[in-house]
Structure 1
Amino acid sequence: MHCSVSISRESSRNSLTSSSSVSSVESKQLALNDNTNLPSAASKLKQETISSQHVSPASSVVSSKSTTGRRHRADTANIKEYGVCYKRLGEGSTAIVMITRKGDKVYAIKQFRKQKRTESEKDYMKKLTSEFCISSTFSHPNIVETIDLVLDDKKRYSTVMEYCPGGDLFGCIMSGCMTEREKACCFKQMMQGVAYLHSVGVAHRDIKPENLLLAADGTVKITDFGVSDVFRFVWESQCHKSRGLMGSEPYIAPEAFEQKEYWGAAIDIWSTGIVLYCLWMEGLVWHRAKKTEAAFASYVRTRSKQQFDLFSKLPAEPRRLVYAILDPNPATRPTAEDVLNDPWVQSIDVCQHGIGASGERHRHLPASCKV
């Protein structure tokens, strides 16, 4: 089952766009999602727990130092501790995006909006801290590091994160410069990050190329946990289902459109299958996975014989895996660990600091493709 992983637009001819517009690749890293129907995570990091339901202003920022050295305290740090803002990337409905520099350190800053007059402090703090409290517990090379929750001089909260100068995978896909080896490397890195999230009981619920960032050395990192859900707490052996239609429509699994409750991890796996298709075909296979959509209805009819026309141009191994991952039945859909144990995925060479096993440089950065 998808809940028990152990730790360990309608065709390929369309451009790679989704229901949410694409802004600069740097600001995608910091884009907030307006959906707030998600559990929050407690900040008791010494026990490495993640809890949901409610985050009070106190519990969201007060605790002793964690084993990772991150700070959660009543006297919240000031944003100036992370240097001076030297670049403002943009502004959305819920946050202002900027970059700060302190010495040779560069940080990505997500500065949240002010509290609305019609909004209670409790609701405001829940929306503001939930993403931070979930993401700040993660420690994995394929997950963007969330460093701190700070205040500016006007007492507005901001999240401090690792800065990924390579932009997002969307830009790299649209550049059309990656080899099949490099595409496979990006896919496997994404799956490693997804497997880690599921191992600690978190479903991302918005996996897409815009939320896959590229570090300076080309490492793929998952970001934006604004609609993430905790489906299993560390003290639980059983998982619970997620609720609410979250994410970007082309990447959402069919059961999320049809059911009020669904397995969050299975939703993520479906999204990775769409990303796999995007990597090779540089487009989206359908606008939404609903039978009222012609492309998806055709896929459902032809899947058993693997004769879906839009998959015919995929190479043999990615095509086989896409059919397996895009299983309309979440009960028989593979888990992240299943995908990582697939023979083809096992054979994929993941680069280290941008260098493959044979010494070749992987071009995961859009800048690498400029003539």
Structure 2
Amino acid sequence: MSPTTAFNASLHRLSPGDIWLPDTRASPLIDNELAKQQANLSTSNYLNMSENSSTTSSTNSSIVSINNKLDITADYCNQSLSSAASITSNNNNLSRQSSTNGGGARRHRADTASLKEYGECYKRLGQGTTAIVMVVRKLDQDGRSEKLYAIKQFRKKQKQESEKDYMKKLTSEFCISSTFQHPNIVETIDLVLDDKKRYCTVMEYCPGGDLFTSIMAERMTEIEKACCFKQMIQGLSYLHSMGVAHRDIKPENLLLTMDGKLKITDFGVSDVYRFPWESKGRLSRGLVGSEPYIAPEAFQDKEYFGAAADVWSAGIVFYCISLGGLAWHKAKKTDSAYCGYIRAFEKNETFELFRPLSNHQKRILRRMLDPNPQTRITASELLADPYLGSIAVCHDSIDAHGQVHKHTDGVQPICTISRKK
């Protein structure tokens, strides 16, 4: 058996996601689409929230009508905003308060704000093939940095794409992500225009960088690794309780604050598989996500359970956190390492690459990487497992046992808040 597949920046490091730069002619259209999302629209047929991925997309998958997509997205937002409060109250008694301009309701509105409300562009964090991410800072009267925000600029409209369809795609991700209120989910604050009339999503800034960087640094202790794993599952469980499958869980989409909080970001290929008032959901469609983390059923079947696929992806991330690499490149029979895992799984044997893990870790990983999505453990079941119950999550870098966590030890944030003397 080959050794653990090591991370390779050219192979593994992926773009920040489907983050786009827009056409400046579309202002009236986006105002109309956001206004529609505020209205009480009738429920349409279920939808696939995305037709493409940052790294992999299925050109043969059936695509649901764009018109239905916006109606469903709007319905989801309207219903989720009211239900989120009760759900989040059961998750650490979170309150529904906004981080925009000192409070008030989260913004779902027809009048598009200016980026200037959030300050001036300060630093560029990164750019992928389809993405630009920057930091803006809002200065106080003394000229010191008061608040930092992360900004995503949207891609330009494609030539073959109508302006109406482009605007619907642009608003759907914002509408979904802006309903979430959870400590392990990056907060989406607003959709604004910059001074060049480009549309930007305003989000909270996580100065600790992404989990990929921390894994590569190899500085986290076993306690800190377990803390990151549990926080990821807490965020995933919340998303699934809201009826949303992320569908692109990977270390690059898990951000850290300087005090050790892990947050899930990038909802560009997310799928609304269940409305808040429903007990049963629908299957997801389309091959999306990043190949090493995609569940086998997504490769094999046209339809699959999005939440179960998320758990598989989280299992791969758990392996990455624990051992610092990838066990296989793709969960397909053409991958020899994956075939070795399947043989070991069917014989109820320990896969060779899992041997360095503890017994509890092996057991959890086996449940998460169950090839059968019907019997795969869920995120909520994971949180109820005694092993995860034994993991102490840090708050302000200190856990319940008084142990100091240094998840971002050695990380120098690109931007910091200046303190008044």
Contact 1:132 1:159 in 2 (8 A): yes
1:280 aligns with 2:322: yes
Which one of the candidate residues 214, 220, 223 is aligned to 2:256? Answer: 214
- Answering whether residue 76 of structure 2 is matched by residue 84 of structure 1, we say no
Given the superposition, is the C-alpha separation of residues 234 and 357 from structure 1 closer, same or farther in structure 2, using an over 3 Å criterion? closer
Which residue of the partner structure matches residue 308 of structure 2? 266
Shift of 1:171: 0.8
Within 5 Å, which residues of 2 pair with 1:102-113?
Answer: 102-103=138-139, 104-113=146-155
2:230 to 170, 174, 188: 188
How far residue 280 of structure 1 moved from its aligned partner, in angstroms, is 1.1
- Tell me which amino acid in the other structure corresponds to 2:116: K
Name the counterpart of 2:18.
32
Indicate the SS of the match to 2:360. helix
Per-residue deviation at 1:355? 0.7
Select the residue among 359, 362, 366 that pairs with 1:319: 362
CA contact (8 A) 1:306 1:323 kept: no
Q: Deviations over 1:2-34 (max 9, x none)?
A: xxxxxxxx74242265855347xxxx4xx3269
Checking the alignment, whether the CA contact within 8 Å between 1:166 and 1:366 is kept in structure 2 is no
Do the aligned partners of residues 45 and 269 (structure 1) sit closer, same or farther apart at CA in structure 2, a change above 3 Å counting?
A: farther
> Would the aligned equivalents of 1:19 and 1:249 in 2 still touch at CA under 8 Å?
no
CA distance in 1, matches of 2:331, 2:265: 24
SS of the residue 2:164 aligns to: helix
Give a deviation string over 1:215-241, Cα, whole Å, max 9, x none.
121100000000000000123332100
User: In structure 1, what is the equivalent of residue 60 of structure 2?
Assistant: none
Q: Does the C-alpha gap of structure 1 residues 142 and 43 become closer, same or farther in structure 2, counting only changes over 3 Å?
A: farther
Closer/same/farther in 2, CA of residues 272 and 87 from structure 1, 3 Å limit: same
Measured after TM superposition, the shift of residue 112 of structure 1 is: 1.0
Counterpart residue type for residue 200 of structure 1: M
Structure 1 length as normaliser, TM-score? 0.85
What is the identity, as a one-letter code, of the residue corresponding to 1:15?
Answer: F
Alpha-carbon separation, structure 1, partners of 2:350 and 2:9:
25
SS at match of 1:330: coil
- The CA deviation string for residues 295-350 of structure 1, in whole angstroms up to 9 with x for no partner, is 11111111142221111111221111111110000000011011111111111001
Pick closer, same or farther for the CA change 1:91–1:172 going to 2, 3 Å. closer
Residue 332 of structure 2: aligned partner:
290
Helix, strand or coil for the counterpart of 2:318?
Answer: helix
Q: Distance in 1 between matches of 2:289 and 2:402?
A: 37
CA RMSD of aligned residues (A): 2.9
2:189 to 119, 129, 147: 147
Gaps of 5+ in 1: 1-9, 35-39
Partner Cα distance (2:302, 2:213) in 1: 34
2:131 matches 1:122: no
**Shift in Å, 1:293:** 0.9
Contact residue 38 and residue 109 of structure 2 kept, 8 A:
no
1:3 corresponds to which residue?
Answer: none
Identity of aligned residues (%): 60
Q: 1:299 to 1:17 in 2, by over 3 A?
A: farther
